[in-house]
Structure 1
Amino acid sequence: MHTRRFLPLLAGALLVPLLAACDSEKKSDAEEPTTITVLAAASLTDVFKQAGAAYEKEHPDTKVTFSFAGSQELAAQVRQGAPADALVTADTKTMDDLKKDTGAPTVIAKNRLTIATAKDNPKHIKSLSDLSRDDLKVVLAAPEVPVGRYSKKVLDQQHVTVKPVSQEPSVRAVLSKVSLGEADAGIVYVTDATTAKNKVATTTIPDDQNAVASYPAATLKSSKHTAQAADFVKWLSTDGARKLLREAGFQQP
């Protein structure tokens, strides 16, 4: 008799922790943050890693992952249907060419060009015109890359002819060639040169000879997390995000 009474009690006792465990698992699943993927221009690599951490701290329900590359490569990924939620390019032209794939873009920052040289500038490069010298190995970004297009523009305006030893797929690739000593000079963004200030020197390009790069951000229509993507893009224009961009050397939009 006692055994028959005890069995239901035992079953009930065992069921309670089991139900609690299931309930705990459901809560854990519900609390799992939503991951969004942001395709971003290579020149944003360092500052966006900081921005992502800051955003996640303010929005614990969202995790941000980045894919960095030249803007032209990012555009190709979007056209090929790569799974992503937002896009930030280093020029408005690339973004405008993708308007059927994106939401309305917002410019979040601006940048300028500088000449990166080997550390201590041993070749004594003082201006854009010096880049035409025969004794220099100059590397530029390819014409389809935003920084390559800006570089061509400023060189053409000063009637400077450069025969680059290579044309790279991103500004970071140009910077790498110079910092590794594979080139004497290259044209990069001011912010990229700043990230390698212990490896390269810079020669300033005067404002009246320079070009301004604009960085638009937009959601992607193919996103499966439209609300979170829109919130991140909006956050990039907040005071906190602008402070990070400004400290990294970017100019205000």
Structure 2
Amino acid sequence: MILKLLASTLLLTLGSASAASLTVFAAASLTDAFAEIGRSFDAATGNTTTFQFAGSQALRTQLDNGARPDVYASANNAQFDPLVKSGLLSSGQPFLSNRLAVIAPRNNVKIQTLLDLSKPGVRLVIADKAVPVGDYTRRMISAIDKSGAYGKDFSGKFLKNVVSEEPNVRQVALKVQLGEADAAVVYSSDVTPALRPSVRVIALPTRFNQSASYPIGILKNSAHPEAAQAFVKFVLSAEGQAILKKWGFLKPPAQPATRISSVAVRAAIMGDDAMPTVRARK
């Protein structure tokens, strides 16, 4: 009953301003979760939210080259913090975290353990090193290498088996789904209900896994700053976080990825009359 009341209060707050057409740039791994969040947000507010999903590094390049959405959600701080420092983003804060997963085709028995990833002839697909998940992957194999748990020069043998480096994590997962790779490294959230029947998840010890913190922020020159703030507020709300959890994401880390202004914090907590309602496109 209390949760319903809080949700109703939030929707009233979000829906208090005129509708807007909002553009959100978001990491490819957020595709399913943000599509659902967008539908709920738009239904609650009357807004129309359009998403562009791609690798965080590709979206950052577009922003550096003049693209001006209203909101940017990245899969790591490396593709986010420089935009705050350069003044393109007015603020930022973490809204979820993620972990890595090693996957293999369900009908492919070559890969049973992490050790198999270093064996000659294995076809591995990972993301490019500029892609957040590609960076996390390289940190993972470096941690394995340093431990010596799977033999000498694990990382060298692993990288020698890489047959393709993809521009985003969805392309990495697709290679496995199509049988074009014996194994790949993706996010745990990428093992969606649609992908799960066609893949197996290989055990990855916690000590080698990597925690990915996702920040979200508003463009300083957003054409719809109130609607943008409302969208971020919705993502951080109980309803938004429940949707993210449904799609396999974890709670955000305790510390913010970048500093957020006191004005933004107050608006996010208290709301204001200018805060627009947000509705996702059908």
Instruction: Using structure 2 for the length normalisation, give the TM-score.
Output: 0.76
Q: Which amino acid aligns with 1:200?
A: V
The equivalent of 1:71 in structure 2 is 56
Q: Could you list the per-position Cα deviations for residues 22-49 of structure 1 after superposition, in whole angstroms to 9, with x for gaps in the alignment?
A: xxxxxxxxx9831110000000001111
The equivalent of 1:215 in structure 2 is 214
RMSD, matched Cα: 1.4
Distance 2:118 2:59 in 1: 31
1:26-65 alignment runs, 5 A limit: 33-60=19-46, 62-65=47-50
Q: Which amino acid aligns with 1:245?
A: L
1:83-102 alignment runs, 5 A limit: 83-99=68-84, 100-102=87-89
Q: How many residues align?
A: 221
The equivalent of 2:269 in structure 1 is none
Percent identity at matched positions? 36
| Offset at residue 85 of structure 1 (A) | 0.5
Distance 1:78 1:125 in 2: 41
Distance 1:120 1:189 in 2: 21
Distance 2:111 2:62 in 1: 40
Q: Which amino acid aligns with 2:75?
A: A
The equivalent of 2:184 in structure 1 is 186
Distance 1:175 1:156 in 2: 22
Give the SS at the match of 2:80.
helix
Dislocated runs of 4+, deviation >6 Å: none
Give the SS at the match of 1:201.
strand
The equivalent of 2:274 in structure 1 is none
| Offset at residue 121 of structure 1 (A) | 4.2
Q: Which amino acid aligns with 1:165?
A: V
- Residue 151 (structure 1) aligned with residue 137 (structure 2): yes
The equivalent of 1:23 in structure 2 is none
Distance 1:50 1:153 in 2: 31
Q: Could you list the per-position Cα deviations for residues 186-222 of structure 1 after superposition, in whole angstroms to 9, with x for gaps in the alignment?
A: 0000010234102211113121110001111000113
Q: Could you list the per-position Cα deviations for residues 91-131 of structure 1 after superposition, in whole angstroms to 9, with x for gaps in the alignment?
A: 1121112112102111111100010101144213312x321
1:128-143 alignment runs, 5 A limit: 129-143=115-129
Distance 2:18 2:82 in 1: 35
Q: Which amino acid aligns with 1:157?
A: A
- Residue 115 (structure 1) aligned with residue 85 (structure 2): no
Give the SS at the match of 2:226.
helix
Q: Which amino acid aligns with 1:184?
A: D
The equivalent of 2:256 in structure 1 is none
Q: Which amino acid aligns with 2:169?
A: V
The equivalent of 1:225 in structure 2 is 224
| Offset at residue 231 of structure 1 (A) | 1.2
Give the SS at the match of 1:139.
strand
- Greater alpha carbon shift after TM alignment, 200-209 vs 147-156: 200-209
The equivalent of 2:113 in structure 1 is 126
Q: Which amino acid aligns with 2:70?
A: D
The equivalent of 1:199 in structure 2 is 198
Distance 2:134 2:204 in 1: 15
Q: Which has the larger radius of gyration?
A: 1
The equivalent of 2:9 in structure 1 is none
Say whether the 8 Å CA contact 2:110–2:116 is kept in structure 1.
Answer: no
Residue ranges of structure 2 left out of the alignment (5+ in a row) = 1-16, 146-153, 253-282
Instruction: Using structure 1 for the length normalisation, give the TM-score.
Output: 0.84
Q: Could you list the per-position Cα deviations for residues 127-148 of structure 1 after superposition, in whole angstroms to 9, with x for gaps in the alignment?
A: 2x32111121001100000000
Residue ranges of structure 1 left out of the alignment (5+ in a row) = 1-30
